[in-house]
């Protein structure tokens, strides 16, 4: 067994596995074939004929899920548009809405010119990305081309509007014509001659009048909403079914603009054969504002919530899912196997270190391979990846998390950094534990900050219902774990009680009042 283990870690296929892992960390159309459903029914719900908001932490697999939705619906010849909202990061309203509209319609244009018309017999097109050909026949060519021409005109109009300033003075030219008539009679007596004179004269002038009327882009959007609705009605008739618009990573655009963008697309879509699928980070997003009239979509009434996160609280389910991911990758790199490459304790440590986030799990795994290789096959820790290799990789990967935190936190970065620094100090210096508790009914800025830190993968839910042994009768708490990157790689943290999530005494160990965090 030892010889086989050594060959696994040193095998050339491990290099290929690392490359595959790097590729798998990015959600691309080509990676759809590696998609693994995080929970039964999630994919079907995401393809359903309803508006959906798909929530998940950064790297949890939202984009992979939505890419799979694109592939499956395209195979069924359902018109679909995929828009990466990160492209419009920093854009202001209404330009951000016009830009997203343009990109959405451009993607529908590409779809109509390719997937809608390409026959199933052209297997090179279908197999390259989708793996199989559609069963539904192609769209009718003439009406499809006619709709594409109309769509090109709509896009051109939007592009022209985008280039204009937000407010412009409208100048009007007025042409006026003034005329007069004159007549008279004159007689000259050198003979019987009468002279009659008649004069008719016209004067044309043009004057330019500058009016105070301003043409606003928002007014343009309101005035043209019926045009967009008519297009999607025609598209629905052509395809004999609905179209789908996917807005991925909504949280990248300004929070103050998110509900307005959703609201406009919802008004365009309602009753016109278009379903919205929006992927985002829950506590970094604003999808509904209670104004008069309301702006955005209301969960439950207008759109369904789909949460793809699997927390550490569901450890058995999470372990099964993560092992499927590794096994799926290793199928492409024989003879590498999970048991041949990792100790059992290393797999558990990887899951805990990742907080249940797929991208972090894969990222820490690849760094752990490098650490295990560097120490050599004769090291006392053995020839396979062990828990200590994962610890070292976790500390290294923590730098990546902090950089992504700075990018994603955006305007809230300073406040969230202060909140996180305070929380880390409490865990390491006061509670001296990797677990902390908060009151289940806590509201306000402290709870808001913790919610955002969860979505930013620096804090992880481990138990949703905890009661204290004494001192808090009738109160219920939630237990969270500080991200392991904050302590596992450091030998400077002394006397820190690292409570094992898989310990039989875990539920009892966290029922301590000293773990209660109030901010």
Percent helix, strand and coil across the chain, each to the nearest 5: 50, 20, 30
pLDDT band, residue 180 (cuts 50/70/90): very low
Q: How far apart are CA 149 and CA 143, in angstroms?
A: 10
Domain 2-10+311-406 is of which CATH architecture?
Orthogonal Bundle (1.10)
Are domains 2-10+311-406 and 39-166+220-307 of this chain identical in fold? Answer: no
Which tens digit of pLDDT belongs to each residue from 215-230?
589 999 999 999 999 9
Which residue shows structure tokens 């103050």? 256
pLDDT at 390 over 80: yes
**Are β-strands 304-307 and 80-84 bridged in parallel, bridged antiparallel, or unpaired?**
unpaired
What are the strands, taking DSSP E only, across 48-166? 52-55, 80-84
Q: How far apart are CA 365 and CA 21, in angstroms?
A: 9
pLDDT band, residue 182 (cuts 50/70/90): very low
Q: Does the structural domain 39-166+220-307 have CATH classification 3.40.50?
A: yes
List C-alpha distances in Å: 269 to 195, 241, 479: 79, 13, 41
List C-alpha distances in Å: 56 to 53, 60, 65, 68, 250: 10, 6, 11, 16, 12
Q: Where are the domains of the chain?
A: 2-10+311-406, 39-166+220-307, 413-515
pLDDT at 1 over 80: no
Which tens digit of pLDDT belongs to each residue from 405-416?
988 887 789 999
For 148, the 3-state DSSP assignment is helix
Which tens digit of pLDDT belongs to each residue from 424-438?
999 999 999 999 999
**Are β-strands 52-55 and 274-280 bridged in parallel, bridged antiparallel, or unpaired?**
parallel
List C-alpha distances in Å: 347 to 117, 324, 331, 350: 47, 12, 18, 5
Look at residue 294 in the predicted model and tell me its pLDDT: 96
**Are β-strands 288-289 and 80-84 bridged in parallel, bridged antiparallel, or unpaired?**
unpaired
pLDDT band, residue 236 (cuts 50/70/90): very high
Q: How far apart are CA 333 and CA 235, in angstroms?
A: 44
> Of the candidates 254, 265, 258, which has an alpha carbon nearest to the alpha carbon of residue 288?
258
């Amino acid at each position: 067994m030892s010889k086989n283990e050594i060959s696994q870690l040193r095998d050339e296929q491990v290099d290929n596995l690392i490359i595959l892992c790097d590729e798998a960390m990015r959600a691309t159309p080509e990676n759809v074939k590696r998609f693994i459903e995080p929970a039964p029914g999630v994919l079907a719900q995401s393809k359903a004929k309803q508006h959906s908001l798909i929530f998940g932490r950064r790297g949890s697999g939202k984009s992979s899920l939505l890419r799979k939705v694109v592939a499956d619906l395209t195979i069924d010849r359902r018109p679909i548009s995929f828009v990466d909202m990160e492209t419009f990061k920093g854009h202001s309203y209404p330009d951000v809405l016009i830009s997203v509209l343009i990109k959405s319609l451009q993607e529908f244009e590409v779809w109509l010119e390719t997937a809608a018309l390409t026959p199933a017999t052209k297997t090179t097109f279908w197999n390259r990305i989708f793996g199989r050909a559609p069963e539904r026949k192609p769209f009718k060519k003439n009406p499809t081309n006619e709709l594409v021409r109309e769509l090109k005109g709509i896009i051109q109009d939007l592009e022209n509007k985008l280039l204009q300033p937000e407010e412009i003075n409208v100048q009007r030219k007025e042409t006026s014509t003034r005329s007069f008539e004159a007549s008279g009679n004159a007689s000259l007596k050198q003979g019987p001659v009468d002279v009659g004179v008649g004069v008719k004269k016209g004067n044309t002038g043009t004057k330019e009048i500058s009016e105070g009327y301003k043409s606003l882009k928002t007014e343009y959007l309101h005035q043209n909403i019926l045009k967009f609705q008519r297009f999607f009605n025609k598209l629905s008739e052509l395809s004999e079914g609905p179209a789908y618009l996917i807005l991925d990573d909504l949280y990248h655009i300004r929070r103050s603009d998110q509900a307005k963008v959703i609201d406009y697309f919802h008004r365009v879509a309602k009753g016109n054969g278009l379903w919205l699928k929006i992927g985002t980070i829950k506590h970094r997003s604003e999808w509904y504002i209670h104004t008069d009239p309301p702006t955005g979509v209301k969960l439950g009434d207008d759109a369904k919530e789909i949460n793809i996160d699997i927390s550490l609280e569901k450890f058995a389910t999470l372990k099964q899912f993560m092992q499927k991911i590794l096994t799926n990758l290793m199928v492409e790199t024989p003879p590498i196997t999970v048991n041949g490459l990792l100790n059992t304790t290393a797999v558990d440590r990887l899951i805990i270190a990742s907080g249940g986030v797929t991208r972090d799990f894969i990222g820490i795994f690849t760094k752990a391979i490098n650490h295990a290789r560097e120490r050599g096959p004769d090291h006392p820790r053995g020839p396979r990846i062990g828990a200590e290799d994962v610890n070292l990789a976790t500390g290294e990967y923590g730098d990546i998390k902090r950089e992504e935190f700075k990018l994603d936190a955006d305007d809230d970065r300073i406040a969230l950094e202060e909140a996180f620094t305070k929380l880390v100090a409490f865990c390491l210096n006061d509670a001296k534990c990797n677990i902390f508790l908060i009151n289940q009914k806590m509201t306000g800025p402290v709870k808001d900050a913790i919610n955002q830190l969860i979505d930013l993968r620096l804090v992880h839910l481990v138990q949703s219902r905890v009661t204290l042994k004494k001192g808090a009768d009738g109160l219920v708490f939630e237990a969270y774990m500080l991200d392991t990157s904050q302590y596992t790689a450091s030998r400077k943290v002394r006397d820190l009680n690292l409570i094992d999530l898989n310990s039989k005494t875990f539920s009892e160990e966290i029922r301590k009042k000293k773990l209660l965090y109030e901010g």
